[in-house]
Amino acid sequence: MKIIIVGAGEVGYNIASRLASENKQVIVIDKNPDAVRRLSERLDVQVILASGSNPKTLIDAGIKETDILLAVTDSDETNLVTCLMADLISPTTKKLARIRNSDFDSYYDRFKKENPHIDTIINPEIEVVNTIKRLMVVPGAVDVGDFADGRVKYVGIRLDRHSPMAGMKLFDFSLKFGEDRPLIAAIIRNNEVIVPKGDNNIESGDLIYFVSETEKLEKMLTLFGKKIIPIQRALIIGGGRIGERLAKSFETDSIKTKIIESDIGRCHYLSERMEKTVVLHGDGSDQKLFLEENCGQNDVVVSVTNDDETNILVSLLAKNMGVKNTITRIGKSTYFPLLATIGIEKVVSPRLSAVSSILKEVRKGKVLSDMSILGGRGEFIEAIALETSDITDQPLKKISFPKGAILVCILRNGQIMIPAGNSVVNPNDRIIMFAVKHAVKKLEKLLTVKLDFF
C-alpha cells in the first residue's frame, strides 16, 4: 500500500511513524525544512521538501500510483486544494483531509459528492468534544469509546482495592460473575500493556480496559466501585475552537456552563455566539479567579487551551479544590507517560483523535472503527468478519492469533458473545479486537480476504 501524507506536523509525523512501522510505503510532503528534516532523521519514510498542493509535486511523488492521500497540514485551505489537485490528477486515489474550521461544517457533504470528492473528512476537534462528553459521564474512567453505533463501549478504569475483582484471576470471573462478567481487553501495570490470559491476576492499582454493552454499563461499573453521575455544572478553560464547540454542546444538553478565556477579543466573539454560557475574561490558571468562581462546585472542569502546561496546572488546581472530574487537553505525546504519576488520567488529544480516524481508513479488511489508546501503544479495532478471511469458520483455538492481540467480543444478530476457545466467528459477524502496536500488522492479515479484495 502506497500512502502520500501532505503535512509533517504532529499529526503527519505520528501517522507516518505508525504506518512506516507496519512496513507501508509512505511519502511525506511538507514545505517546512525543519519538519522535513525531523522526519528524515527519525523515520524510514521518503520525504519531499515542497508544497503538497502543487500539482507537479504530487505527480513527482507518484500520486497516480498512490492508494491513499492524507492532507493533514495545519491549513484547511491547503488541505482542500491538495485534495482538489489530487482528484484532477488521480481520481481513483482515496482522499482524506483534516478540516477544523467550523465554518466549513455545512459543506462536508458537498466536499464528498462534488469536487474535490474527499472520501473522508477528519475533524479531530469534533472527535475531542465527543470524547470529553463520554469521559464526563463516568467520573472514575480514564478512557471511554463507542462501538457498534453506541451499543457497546470500552472503558479504561483504575482498579481500587475495594473492588470485588481485586486479586482475582481472570478464569475465576465466570464462576463469580456469570454472564455479566466484564470482558477484559487489556491490563496496564507499571506502564506495561498486558494482553490478558485466563491465569492473569488483576491487582489493585491496575488500569483495566473492559468492553460492555452500553445498557449494562452502569451495572458493570459497580464491580469497579464506580457509578455514572449526571453533569449539571461545567467549567471550561479555553475558549478556542474546542471550547466553543464543547460549550454549544453543553447548552444543547442543558448543562450550566462557564468559559474562562484569556483573550478579550475572543471573549467578545464567544459572548455573541453563545446563548446561555457565561463567558469570563481571565487567566484560567489563576487560583484567585478559581476561588471567586467557586470552581469546586462544578461537576466537571475541562481545560482545553492551546498550552499543555496551562492545562496541566488548571487540572491540578481544580483537583486541589475538590473537583474529582477533570479532563485535560494534551498535545505533546512526550507528556503522556508522566501524567498519571501526578494524578492526571483523563486526557484528550486532537492528535490522537486524528490518528485514530485516519487508521480506520487505512487498515485493510472491513474495519469500522480503530481507536488508539495509551498514547498509541494499543488499538481497539472493530471490523466485519469477511467470508474468506482466516478468522472465520473455525474454532478460535485453532486460529493463530498474533502475540499481543486478543478477540474481545463477537456481535451477532444484536447479541454480544464472550469468545471462548470453541467459539467460531461467522462471516458478517462484527468483531472487536485489541492489539498492542507491534501485533497490528499480523492482525490485519486475519481480517483480509485471501486475495486481498475488500
**369-379: per-residue pLDDT in tens?**
888 887 678 88
Same domain as 15, residue 118: yes
More confident residue, 443 or 52: 52
Same domain as 425, residue 440: yes
**316-332 per-position pLDDT tens digit:** 999 999 998 999 999 88
> Is residue 454 in a domain?
no
Same domain as 105, residue 19: yes
Predicted local confidence at residue 26, as pLDDT? 96
Give the confidence band of 1 by pLDDT, cuts at 50, 70, 90.
confident
Predicted local confidence at residue 160, as pLDDT? 84
Range with the poorest average pLDDT among 10-19, 30-39, 299-308, 413-422: 413-422
**76-101 per-position pLDDT tens digit:** 999 999 999 999 999 999 999 999 98
Predicted local confidence at residue 159, as pLDDT? 87
CB-CB contact of 24 with 3 (8 Å): yes
> Is residue 163 in a domain?
yes
Q: Could you give the C-alpha distances from 218 to 92, 209, 223, in angstroms and in order?
A: 46, 15, 9
Of 325, 347, 369, which one is at a domain's C-terminal end?
A: 347
CB-CB contact of 65 with 53 (8 Å): no
CB-CB contact of 129 with 111 (8 Å): no
Structural domain count of the chain: 4
> Is residue 129 in a domain?
no
Whether residue 47 is predicted with pLDDT greater than 80 in this model: the reply is yes
Give the confidence band of 452 by pLDDT, cuts at 50, 70, 90.
very low
In what helix (H) or strand (E) does residue 409 lie, and over which residues does it extend?
Answer: strand 405-412
**112-138 per-position pLDDT tens digit:** 999 999 999 999 888 899 889 988 887
At CA 374, angle to CA 235 and CA 416, rounded to 5?
95
Same domain as 17, residue 99: yes
How many Cβ atoms sit within 10 Å of the Cβ of residue 439? 20
Same domain as 392, residue 429: yes
Same domain as 92, residue 9: yes
Predicted local confidence at residue 196, as pLDDT? 86
Question: To which residue does cell 496551562 refer?
Answer: 310
Same domain as 324, residue 302: yes
Domain of 93, in residue numbers: 2-122
Distance between CA atoms of residues 77 and 101, nearest Å: 10
> Is residue 69 in a domain?
yes
More confident residue, 3 or 351: 3
Of 197, 222, 247, which one is at a domain's C-terminal end?
A: 222
Q: What percent of the chain has pLDDT over 90?
A: 51
CB-CB contact of 287 with 317 (8 Å): yes
Of 122, 150, 175, which one is at a domain's C-terminal end?
A: 122
Distance between CA atoms of residues 435 and 440, nearest Å: 6
DSSP secondary-structure letter at 129? H
**127-170 per-position pLDDT tens digit:** 899 889 988 887 778 888 888 888 888 999 988 888 888 888 88
Same domain as 409, residue 318: no
> Is residue 227 in a domain?
no
List own/partner pairs for 131-136 with CB under 8 A and 24 or more apart. Answer: 131/348, 131/353, 132/246, 132/302, 132/304, 132/327, 132/348, 133/246, 133/249, 135/327, 135/346, 135/348, 136/231, 136/234, 136/299, 136/300, 136/302, 136/325, 136/327
Give the confidence band of 219 by pLDDT, cuts at 50, 70, 90.
confident
Give the confidence band of 73 by pLDDT, cuts at 50, 70, 90.
very high
Q: Per-residue b/e over 130-151, b at no fewer than 16 CB within 10 Å? A: bbbbbbbbbbbbbbbbbbbeee
**353-363 per-position pLDDT tens digit:** 888 888 878 87
Predicted local confidence at residue 360, as pLDDT? 77
Distance between CA atoms of residues 218 and 58, nearest Å: 51
Measure CA of the first residue to CA of the last residue in the chain; give whole Å.
14
Whether residue 451 is predicted with pLDDT greater than 60 in this model: the reply is no
Same domain as 254, residue 144: no
Same domain as 151, residue 60: no
CATH classification at residue 330: 3.40.50.720
CATH classification at residue 145: 3.30.70.1450
Residue ranges in 340-378 assigned as alpha helix (H): 350-362
> Is residue 135 in a domain?
no
pTM for the full predicted model:
0.82
> Is residue 26 in a domain?
yes
> Is residue 128 in a domain?
no
Question: To which residue does cell 458493570 refer?
Answer: 220
Phi and psi (nearest 5°) for 148?
A: 50, 50
Average pLDDT, the chain: 89
Give the confidence band of 365 by pLDDT, cuts at 50, 70, 90.
low
Question: To which residue does cell 503535512 refer?
Answer: 7
Same domain as 76, residue 62: yes
Same domain as 423, residue 364: yes
